[in-house]
Amino acid sequence: MATGSAVPVPASHLDVARDAEAATRAANAALAAKLPFADKDDFEAARRGLIAAVPDGVVQTGGGTVLWNLGEYAFVDGELAPATVNPSLWRMARLNMANGLFKVAERVWQLRGFDISNMTVLEGDSGLILIDPLTTAEVSRAALALYRAHRPDKPVVAVIYTHSHIDHYGGVRGVVDEADVKAGKVKVIAPAGFMEAIAGENVLAGLPMSRRAQFQFGTMLPRGARGQVDAGLGKSVARGTPGLIAPTMSVEQAIETHTIDGLEIVFQLAPETEAPAEMHMFYPELGVLNMAENACPLLHNFIPLRGAVARDPRIWAKYIGDAIAMYVPRTEVMIGQHHWPTWGREAVLDRLEAQRDLYKHIHDQTLRHMNKGWRPAEIAEVVDLPPGLAERWSVRGYYGSVSHNVKAVYQRYLSWYDGNPCNLHPLPPAPAAKKFVEYMGGADAAIARARADFAKGEFRWVAQVMKEVVYAEPDNLSARALCADALEQMGYQAESATWRNAFLYGAMELRHGAFKVPARGLMSADTLAGLSTDIFFDSMAIRLDPAKAAGQAMVINWHFTDRGEKLAQTLKHCTLTHRLGEWSDAAAVSIATTRATLDQVTLGRTKLPDALASGAIRVEGDVARLAALFDMLDQPTGLMFEILTPGEGR
C-alpha cells in the first residue's frame, strides 16, 4: 500500500499556506470581542526585573550550529493579530518573547526565553542552587553564563529537578560536572518516583511520544503567521544535547524541610499532577512560592497531545489548595518553571484559587455529564469555563484545551471505550475508510460535497470526511489537499498553541509527506544508565518479536557485577519476564557482566560478539542461546512512522 511520504504531490498542491477564510476571520474576530485585551498587567509582569536579554537571542555551538533562535519570531510584533492567528494565542506568543536574566526577589533569579522552560537560580550562602536546568546542555550552559556575567561567579552546590519532564532536567550536564556530584560537592535533588517516571514516559513509550510531539510543538513547521508562532508554555523546545545525572537525594515525605547551603526550603510533593513525580517548593526566608509546573498562567494538559498517562485534575486541584493553605499567608512572590512570576499576596491567592477551580471545574463537570450517560465527544462540546474563569487570561487554553482535557478525564475513569458496543470492535482505520468512501458514493462524490462544506466554513467536518478518503486512497491528491486546507483553517482558529501546531503540521505532512530524518537513538546514554535494572529488562521485553520467539523457551541468569544485582530472565509463550534477586539452576546460560557493558550493547556502541571476545561479557552455558535472544529483539524503527495516512501493513 502506498504511504503518505511516498506520494509525489504535484507543485499545484504544494502552494504556500492559504490565507484565512471568511469563516476563520469571523471566528477570530468574535473571540477578540469577548476578551479583555485592554488589560496589560501580564506584559508588565513578564518584563519586570529584566537585567539583560538573551545575547542576540541566539544559542549556538562552538561550530556555529544554531540551537535556539528567538530571531525566528521577530514577526510576533504588534498588538493586532494576523487573520491567520487566533488573537488570544497571538497575545501569549508576544508575552513569551520576554527573555533573559530576571531578578525576582532577593537571592532569587530566573533565566527565561532560553528554552520552553525556565531555569531558576537561588543564591545560597556559598554557591548557587539551580532549579530545572532546561532541556539541553548547550542552552543551560548559555543561560548560566548570562547569570554569571551579571552576578558573582559562585559554584553550583545543588541542582533541583521539580519534576520528571526532560525540559526540567535534560540540560544538567551544561551546569554541573558529574564528577563533582559523585564527590559530594553538588547535590542533585528530585521528588520521589522521579527515575521511575522518566522510564515510563521516555523509555517504554519514547518513540511514539517523540513522533507525536512533532505535532504538539510544531518542531518542523516554518516560523511565521501561517506556521508555528508559539508552544503555549514558551516559544519552542531547544535543540542540543540532553542528558541526565541521577538524583543523589530524593524527597520522600509529603512535606519535607531541608536547609541547602544556608537556605531553608520546604518541599511539597504533588505526585500524579502535571507529572507523575512533581513537587512544589516554598522558601520561607524569601517569601517565595515555587509551584513548579502546576500553576502556569494557562490551562495545562490532563493528557498532552504527545501522549502520557492520564493526569488527575481532582488531586491536582487538591495540591494547589494545600499550597494555598500552607504557604500563601507567608508568600510575597509566586514563581513557576514556565512563564513569569506573580507579585503580591492578594494576586498570588487570586491566581492560585483560579487555577484550583479551573482543574476542579473541568473534572467535576465531566463527571456530571458522564453520570448522565454522555460520551466523550458530547461532553467536550458542552463543557466550558464558567463566568469568573472564562474571561481570565491566566486560565485560557494555550497549552491544554477544555475539549481534550474533558476526554482525558473520561479516559481516566472509564477508559477509551464509550460504552457503545458498536465501538467495541470496529474495523481498523484503513479498511473502515474504504467502506465509508464506498458508502459515500466514491471519493469524487465525497470530495465534491466536502468542497461545498468547506466554502460554508465547516472545516471540522471536512477534515473528518477527507481523513476517510485519504485513508481509503492515500494517492488521492485532491483529498489530501482539501484535508490539508481544512486542517489549516482549524489551526488558524485554534487558541491552543498545541492544537494550532498539530493542525498545521498535519496539513504540511499531507502536502509534503512525512519528513525524512536521519536515524537516531531515542534514548540517551544518561537515561539508559539511569534506568533501574527492572525497567531496563521491561524495555527489552517490549522489543521481543513473537514470530522469532515461537516455539522457544529458556531461562537466562544475569549477574551485574557493578551493581551487585542478579536476576533470572524467562522466555516462555513468546514473552519475556524476569525476577530480580533470583538465580535459576535450570538456566540455559548464565551471564556475568556490568550494566554499563549491557548499556553499550543496547546503544549499539559495542557489538555482542566483541563484548564476548573481550571478556566484558562472561558466559557459562550455551552462548548461542544468548545470541538467539538478541536476534529475537526488534531493532529500533525509524521515528517518522505514518500518522496522516495508513502505514505499511495497516
Sorted by where each begins, the domain ranges of the chain are 4-10+426-512, 35-407, 525-631
Residue type, 471: Y
Alpha-carbon span 16 to 227, nearest angstrom: 10
The secondary structure of 609-643, three-state, reads HHHHHHCCCEEEECHHHHHHHHHCECCCCCCCCCC
Q: Could you say which DSSP state residue 393 is in? A: G
Contact indicator for 302, 409 with CB cutoff of 8 Å: yes
Alpha-carbon span 25 to 287, nearest angstrom: 46
pLDDT score for 643: 83
pLDDT score for 525: 83
The CATH H-level (homologous superfamily) assignment of domain 4-10+426-512 is: Alkyl sulfatase, dimerisation domain (1.25.40.880)
Q: Which three cell numbers stand for residue 521?
A: 537513538
Contact indicator for 513, 7 with CB cutoff of 8 Å: yes
Question: Of 360, 362, 333, which is closest to residue 346 (Cα–Cα)?
Answer: 333
pLDDT in tens, 420-458: 999 999 999 999 999 999 999 999 999 999 999 999 999
pLDDT score for 7: 42
**Angle, CA 87 vertex, CA 84 and CA 92 arms, to 5°:** 115
Q: Is the pTM of this model over 0.85?
A: yes
Alpha-carbon span 94 to 78, nearest angstrom: 8
Domain 525-631 belongs in CATH node 3.30.1050.10: yes
Contact indicator for 521, 189 with CB cutoff of 8 Å: no
Pairing verdict, β 255-260 and 249-251: unpaired
* E strand or H helix that includes residue 565: strand 565-572
Return the CATH fold of 35-407.
Answer: Metallo-beta-lactamase; Chain A (3.60.15)
Residues of the chain with pLDDT under 70: 1-16, 202, 518-523, 636-638, 648-650
